[in-house]
Structure 1
Amino acid sequence: MKLGHRNNATLSARLIRWLASLSLGVLGCLCLGVFFSVKVNLETQQDLRLEKFSTAIRHMFEETPVHLRPGTLEHDLDDLLKINRDLHLRLRNRSGEVHFVSTPGSWPSKARFYSLELPDKARKNDFSIAELALDTAPDEAILDRLAAILWAAALIGSAAITLGGYLIVYLGLSPIRTLAEQTRSLAIRSLDKRLETQGIPAELQVLVDQFNDLLNRLEKAYRQLEGFNADVAHELRTPLANIIASSELALRSHDDDENLRDCIGSNLEEMHRLSGIVNDMLFLSQADRGAKARRTPVPSLAQLCAEVADYYEAVLLEADLQWSIDGDASGKFDAALLRRVLSNLLNNAARHAYRGSSIVIRIRPEADGQVELSVINRGEPIPAASLPHIFNRFFRVDTARSQGHQNHGLGLAIVSAIARMHDGEAFAKSGHGETEIGIRLA
């Protein structure tokens, strides 16, 4: 439980913890630097004092022979040591016995020591070694007080920085709390609302823009889902109602076998239509889940298009339409899916083309390696307001659904899905009595 709580710590707590650790570490290092700098400086001064005092003693023995006589040496050494009360001196003979102590009974326990050999003149008077001791207790007391002050300053400074950092972090994260409050107000019935971008810091602007873009896509998907459900209900209701009505009439009547056969045939036709709608919806569902085309080498798209056009020749002749193929290309494509694309495009063109006109199947390779496959027909242009929506499911330019028994509005949606399965896109152009609908294949 403790580990989970630590992992779920707030951003503010993490920042404050990091800031407290950083400030304590930095101030601690600075205080340690100051402490050791003062300590080294004090030790250097102590060494200099010991060196100067040892030099004075050496000169005393070398340059003033009178000091070698008994009685005068102790007197002059006492006078010298009165000026430096924290310095202590011991003189030893060659055997190590002490012959002189500046402060008998008070030799310092905490001191810096220095030893020097006396000149030959002093040795004649049985003085061989001089031992100096500099009492460091006052300096160590100063260092102890300095260490306490520095550590207190480090702790107080770290606490002050942490408190100030907490206030800065709290104020700095206020835009995030504002965004959190705004997101709580969003609901499925208010998909038109967006996060406010005014006053948002530049660092959060990208996140807010991406989130608003996500909301745009969600709103669009939700609206499409609502329309899709309504269209599915509409498309399925009519054939189901026809099947139910004809079946009830057949059960109530006493018609002969021929009439019952006609009823069953009509019901079968409606069920084939329902099966086609379900199969197309399943195909679109697979495409939406990221299904990819099974690519195989296609040596000639023109040959493939000619095969599909030959299959639709009866339909085209009935509509008094001519067809032709413009261009050719080769590559790796899913031939079965391209036949379905061309079938849907030809079927769509045949329904909307003027009688006696021509339909052109255009194949155009592009410089970036893509291939455009489109069908062009002459007929009533698609309104500009409807053109961006013709690849939506169950969308019909004819809102009255006058040809609903022939077309259930999924053909161009399947065309767009197959384009995506080839890592391409569908496109449509309409104007000046000519409509071109097709796909780009990558």
Structure 2
Amino acid sequence: MKLGRQNNPTLSARLIRWLASLSLGVLGCLCLGVFFSVKANLETQQDLRLEKFSTAIRHLFEETPAHLRPGTLEHDLEDLLKINRDLHLKLLKQSGEARFVSTPGSWPAQARFYSFELPELARQPDFTVAELALDTAPDEAILDRLAAILWAAALIGSAAITVGGYLIVYLGLSPIRTLAEQTRSLAILSLDKRLETKGIPAELQVLVDQFNDLLNRLEKAYRQLEGFNADVAHELRTPLANIIASSELALRGNDTQENLRDCIGSNLEEMHRLSGIVNDMLFLSQADRGAKARRTPIASLAQLCAEVADYYEAVFMETDLQWSIDGDAAGQFDVALLRRLLSNLLNNAARHAYPGSAIVIRIRPEADGRIELSVINRGEAIPADSLPQIFDRFFRVDTARSQGHQNHGLGLAIVSAIARMHGGEAFAQSARGETRIGVRLA
């Protein structure tokens, strides 16, 4: 089943949608507040009118006994109601039967009612309870018109805010569109290009800086990968060419068994070299994928260093080199990896030390709990611009590769990888004829 491309909403669409919803909600709440406030005010005014009119009716009943004469009270009530045409009155007997109804044919359908008992002294057998009705149809019409106006204002206002917000968002996001156009122009053949930071808002400055820093790392990694591929091809080409050449010569000639054995031995030596390069590359690949050291307790690092140095005794004797160990420490480390690390450091020191000089293996516990393990030799100083690169794969200070048959340039890269597998780092210092290369292990 083929899945279609998911179309995610743009940032502009999200902002506009949120702004439209917010503006409609806020304006709607404000309009509702105005509507209910006006409605409550109208209802209060209606209650006040009903109370005032009920007071006037009470006074009318209590004013003079003349009102108690038949026909006089009804006439006065009708005169009072003529002034307030939206008010209607019923006078009820104690049994609930209506004895007086103002404008019987136009009793309001929509009204606000108010009932009260007549004063005891002025009460007649025919009039016990008065019921007032205030016609609210005009007020309801006002409220309906007000509701329509308020809703129209809310919709028009939210639409205007949305349109204005769209323009603001469109202009505000123009730096992002500019950055998007710049990123489209980046390609593998233009790794030296970077995103422009001129005119970028402060909120995007950090993102642009991080992106440019990422481009710097990518460019460096790509250049290293290009150099790594070239170095791998160079390192593998020579032994392969030697194997092919010696094999072709052996096949063309009528060599004796002894010559064939020499040819096979030479090929085997070259294949061992190829195997070493491949194994070292596989080890570095595992370290890059996050492999960790298998730690076991080591009571004395000095003793471990002495065992590895004894293995290089013959190499040291060839160039009349002396070696010594300065300091000691204990901890949990991978013994096999530490042996390999020390072997590479000692091999590197022996190749670059002055004949007859001394090599020192220094062990120093640090205040943060880490242990510094380094090898110091006297020899030609490493150029300052080459120090940061000596732990790169296939890097050699000697660009002529004069010792390429002995060293393929992965020794110090393996030292750095072993340090990372122990949660540490590698370091190198070289000045005034003394070079110190080592690691800090956590």
The TM-score, its normalising length taken from structure 1, stands at: 0.97
**2:294 matched residue in structure 1:** 294
Q: Distance in 1 between matches of 2:120 and 2:307?
A: 127
**1:160 matched residue in structure 2:** 160
- Secondary structure (helix, strand or coil) at the match of 2:438 reads strand
Q: Pairwise mapping of residues 204-215 of structure 1 onto structure 2 (< 5 A)? A: 204-215=204-215
Q: Distance in 2 between matches of 1:285 and 1:426?
A: 17
Letter in 2 for 1:206: V
**1:217 matched residue in structure 2:** 217
**1:148 matched residue in structure 2:** 148
Letter in 1 for 2:400: A
**2:272 matched residue in structure 1:** 272
Q: Distance in 2 between matches of 1:265 and 1:132?
A: 126
Q: CA deviation at 1:93?
A: 2.6
Equivalent residues, number: 440
Letter in 2 for 1:127: F
- Secondary structure (helix, strand or coil) at the match of 1:168 reads helix
Distance 1:4 1:259, change over 3 A: closer
Q: CA deviation at 1:6?
A: 8.3
Distance 1:98 1:255, change over 3 A: closer
**2:14 matched residue in structure 1:** 14
Q: Distance in 1 between matches of 2:5 and 2:363?
A: 62
Query: Contact 1:68 / 1:125 at 8 angstroms: preserved in 2?
Result: no
Q: CA deviation at 1:15?
A: 1.4
- Secondary structure (helix, strand or coil) at the match of 1:393 reads coil
Tell me whether 74-83 or 277-286 shows the greater mean CA deviation: 74-83
Query: Contact 1:295 / 1:334 at 8 angstroms: preserved in 2?
Result: yes
**2:57 matched residue in structure 1:** 57
Q: CA deviation at 1:97?
A: 3.3
For structure 1, which runs of at least 5 residues remain unmatched after alignment? Answer: none
Q: CA deviation at 1:130?
A: 1.4
**1:82 matched residue in structure 2:** 82
Q: CA deviation at 1:98?
A: 2.8
RMSD: 1.5
Q: CA deviation at 1:121?
A: 4.2
Q: CA deviation at 1:109?
A: 1.0
Q: CA deviation at 1:5?
A: 8.4
Letter in 2 for 1:14: R
- Secondary structure (helix, strand or coil) at the match of 1:369 reads coil
The TM-score, its normalising length taken from structure 2, stands at: 0.97
For residues 114-166 of structure 1, the C-alpha deviation after alignment (integer angstroms, 9 at most, x for no partner) is 11211234433622121111110110000000111111111111111111111
Q: CA deviation at 1:72?
A: 2.1
Query: Contact 1:122 / 1:128 at 8 angstroms: preserved in 2?
Result: no
**1:176 matched residue in structure 2:** 176
**1:25 matched residue in structure 2:** 25
Q: CA deviation at 1:262?
A: 1.2
Answering whether residue 372 of structure 2 is matched by residue 407 of structure 1, we say no
Q: Which runs of 4+ in 1 moved over 4 A?
A: 3-7
For structure 2, which runs of at least 5 residues remain unmatched after alignment? Answer: none
Aligned-pair identity in percent equals 88
**1:390 matched residue in structure 2:** 390
Q: Distance in 2 between matches of 1:398 and 1:98?
A: 123
- Secondary structure (helix, strand or coil) at the match of 1:399 reads coil
Q: CA deviation at 1:206?
A: 1.6
Answering whether residue 433 of structure 2 is matched by residue 439 of structure 1, we say no
Letter in 2 for 1:332: Q
Q: CA deviation at 1:422?
A: 0.8
For residues 384-412 of structure 1, the C-alpha deviation after alignment (integer angstroms, 9 at most, x for no partner) is 11111111111111111111111111111
